[in-house]
Chains A and B, each alone.
Chain A
Amino acid sequence: DTGVSQNPRHKITKRGQNVTFRCDPISEHNRLYWYRQTLGQGPEFLTYFQNEAQLEKSRLLSDRFSAERPKGSFSTLEIQRTEQGDSAMYLCASRTGSLNSPLHFGNGTRLTVT
């Protein structure tokens, strides 16, 4: 179990630029989740994949956000035309399909939009 891996750990970008984050889940986990966490708050759900299918998206996920999981393994989260309000920690998590399987989280990507 190598854990959930997220890259990069930190990203500083200027407003209006596009950014992409990558998540490598635990290898046997077919469920993958993205969350966003702002300072002093709990993580908020963004989107969910079962294998390569994106099955649920939060209304927090504006049309500037897109997530993919093309082969049912790693996932990417892209933010286009970044805004200062996008500054947050972006967390990826994965689990197996078993009903009682807990979520395993990566260490997150901290995005700062200047």
Chain B
Amino acid sequence: AQSVTQLDSQVPVFEEAPVELRCNYSSSVSVYLFWYVQYPNQGLQLLLKYLSGSTLVKGINGFEAEFNKSQTSFHLRKPSVHISDTAEYFCAVRGLGGAQKLVFGQGTRLTINP
């Protein structure tokens, strides 16, 4: 079984500042890792994914994340945020067997202040 812990429930930052949203996971098997963004009253949109290869992955909207196997982390970063980045962000893991279902963290609400 897999589990995901998002260490911050809310992160307020000023516009154009850098941001890091933290994610740690637990799994007894190899996993794929994902970050999704959810805007109010909408479904989830894929930001980026780590499957294999380079541990630094780049996604949409200027976001990137780094996979750290030894620390079982997959933190999301953006060097300069915009008002439009205000949303809920979810880290998720997927095991490679069975239903290959996504297991989500509880989410981090990113609020960008002008």
Contacts and interface: CB of A to CB of B under 8 A. Distances in A.
Contact of A102 (B4, B41, B49, B106): B49
Contacts of B90: 42-43
B77 to A, nearest CB: 20
Contact of B99 (A44, A48, A100, A110): A48
A43 B32 contact: no
Nearest to A49: B99
Nearest to B90: A42
A12 to B, nearest CB: 15
B93 to A, nearest CB: 11
A45 interface: yes
Interface in A19-60: 31, 33, 40-45, 48, 55-56
A111 interface: no
A104 interface: yes
Interface in B71-114: 90, 92, 96, 98-107
Chain B, interface residues (CB within 8 Å), range = 20 to 34
A105 B101 contact: no
A44 to B, nearest CB: 8
A102 B34 contact: yes
A44 B106 CA distance: 10
15 contacts: A33-B99, A33-B101, A41-B107, A42-B90, A43-B102, A43-B104, A45-B99, A45-B101, A56-B101, A93-B102, A100-B49, A103-B102, A105-B44, A107-B41, A107-B43
Interface of A: 4, 6, 31, 33, 40-45, 48, 55-56, 91, 93, 99-100, 102-108, 110
Q: Which are the 10 A-B pairs with shortest beta-carbon distances? A: A42-B104, A105-B43, A48-B99, A56-B99, A105-B44, A107-B43, A45-B101, A100-B51, A42-B106, A106-B43
